[in-house]
Amino acid sequence: MTEAARFTQHALSDWMKGVGPDSDIVISSRIRIARNLQSYPFPMLATNQQSKEVLEHISEVMNNEELGTISWFTLLQLADLSELQKKVLVEKHLISPALASESRNGAVMLSDNESISIMVNEEDHIRIQCLCPGFQIKEAWDLASQIDDLFEEQLNYAFDEKRGFLTSCPTNVGTGIRASVMIHLPALVLTQQINRILSAITQVGLTVRGLYGEGSEALGNLFQISNQITLGQSEEEIIDNLYGVVKQIIEHERAARQKLLYETRAKILDRVSRSYGILSYAAIMDSKEAAQRLSDVRLGIDLEFIKNVSPHVLNELLVMTQPGFLQQTAGEKLSPEERDIRRAQLIREKMSEQG
């Protein structure tokens, strides 16, 4: 098995098998730190030789003994990967679409359990990403900060006394930090409270995106909530603001779930049961329907209507049913209709395994 295959042949990252706080609502917590090297142009302006030198400098940090105490890392150069492998890494949230499609001398350093992803020569020279299961945004920050400190000991970061860390995109200048959570809000959607909640979020310096970040759709009632502001606030202030807002959203979602149970229990049970049956027996299914049906079943698990399906399987299916992963498991390029047939087959098999 090649190094790349170790990270692309399975859908569920090891870190996703853990159970974090509030994991019935918060799927994962993520910290991403953007950094650039002082003596090199930003990646979009760098020559091929300059971006190659940046990769060499950053690769040397992999040999740091202290970094080895955090995890063992594998370096994957994007030029050595197939288009399908890159697509799967995007679907697993291990690299960004920008790194997969536009970077020069792009690479990624992945920890063994895939909870740490360090992208090289993306929009910035370095993008440190740390992921934790459930609502563990502060824990993710502690880990990302530790890695950032180790890099800073060996590399000269581009830094301005007034503006902070300098980044390719002005919206990241300052701390260079993006803190986000992936959150499942089916009850707020069903009780038609979601628009009011999302509108309030944008008033406190946060932004809401879909499953795959900026420009993506919020499929399966999954939303990414992250900070918008990186300049003028400390890292701790950014994280504390996100933490406080997400705590309130969790409380609203729990209240909405109780409202559904008490006021429309039979309708919710019917909705969950129908989706469970369709996932178990459908012969063809597109990605949008799959995401919605999986969301219904996950809600059914959380409300204890369904007791024989693990939430981890649903997390796994969210990746397994994406176009790249479907084609990889099939071993060939598939048409949209063939992908829909293959998607339904994989879901049936997984539901059958759960009994």
CB atoms within 10 A of CB 146: 15
Indicate if 200 and 284 belong to the same structural domain: no
- β-pairing verdict for 126-133 and 26-35: antiparallel
Query: Is there a binding annotation on residue 295?
Result: no
Residue 265 assigned ligand-binding role:
no
209 is in an annotated binding site: yes
Q: Is there a binding annotation on residue 29?
A: yes
Residue 68 shares a structural domain with residue 85: yes
Question: What's the pLDDT at 110?
Answer: 95
Please check if 35 is assigned to a binding site. no
Closest CA to 224 of 124, 131, 114: 131
By CB neighbour count within 10 A (0-12 exposed, 13-18 middle, 19+ buried), where does 8 fall?
buried
Q: Which two structure tokens, joined as six digits, stand for 337?
A: 């209709």
Check whether 243 is labelled as a binding-site residue.
no
Cα–Cα distances in angstroms (integers) from residue 170 to residues 34, 134, 165, in the given order: 11, 30, 10
Q: Which of 235, 256, 277 is the last residue of a domain?
A: 256
Both 86 and 154 in a single domain?
Answer: yes
Q: Which domain holds residue 251?
A: 3-256
Is residue 213 a known part of a binding site? yes
- For position 217, what pLDDT does the model report? 58
- Whole-model pTM above 0.85? yes
Q: Positive or negative CA dihedral for 51, 57, 60, 65?
A: negative
- List the structure tokens of 342: 């293959």
Tell whether 249 and 285 lie within a shared domain: no
107 touches 121 (CB < 8 A): yes
Residues with pLDDT less than 70, the chain: 1, 210-218, 355
32 marked as binding residue: yes
Same domain, 272 and 222: no
Residue 109, phi then psi, degrees to nearest 5: -105, 120
Q: Is 127 annotated as a binding residue?
A: yes
**What is residue 316's predicted lDDT score, i.e. its pLDDT?**
87
252 in a known ligand binding site:
no
Within this chain, do residues 248 and 273 fall inside the same structural domain, yes or no? no
Both 126 and 250 in one domain: the answer is yes
Same domain? For 175 and 291 the reply is no
User: Which of 238, 256, 274 marks a domain boundary?
Assistant: 256
Q: Is 298 a known ligand-binding residue?
A: no
Q: Of 226, 256, 286, which closes a domain?
A: 256
Q: What is the pLDDT of residues 29-62, one digit of tens each?
A: 999 999 999 989 998 889 999 999 999 999 888 7
CB contact at 8 A, 92 and 319:
yes
125 in a labelled binding site = no
Q: Which residues of 192-218 are buried (b: 16+ CB within 10 A; e: fewer)?
A: ebbeebbeebeeeebbbbebbbeeeeb
210 and 309 both lie in a single domain: no
**Widest CA span of the chain, in angstroms?**
64
Whether residues 307 and 185 share a domain: the answer is no
The beta strand positions in 20-125, using DSSP E, are 26-35, 73-77, 107-111, 116-120
> How many helices and strands (H and E) does the chain possess?
14, 10
Residue 50, C-beta contacts closer than 8 angstroms, at least 6 positions apart: 40, 41
> Is 81 found in the same domain as 37?
yes
Tell me if 125 sits within 8 A of 107, measured CB to CB: no
Please give the tally of structural domains in the chain.
Answer: 2
200 annotated among ligand-binding-site residues: no
Same domain, 320 and 213: no
Question: What tokens were used for 200?
Answer: 């309030």
Dist. CA 312–CA 314, nearest whole Å: 5
- Find the CATH number of the domain harbouring 192: 3.30.590.10
What letter would DSSP give residue 211? T
Q: Is 89 annotated as a binding residue?
A: no
Q: Are 4 and 80 in contact (CB under 8 A)?
A: yes
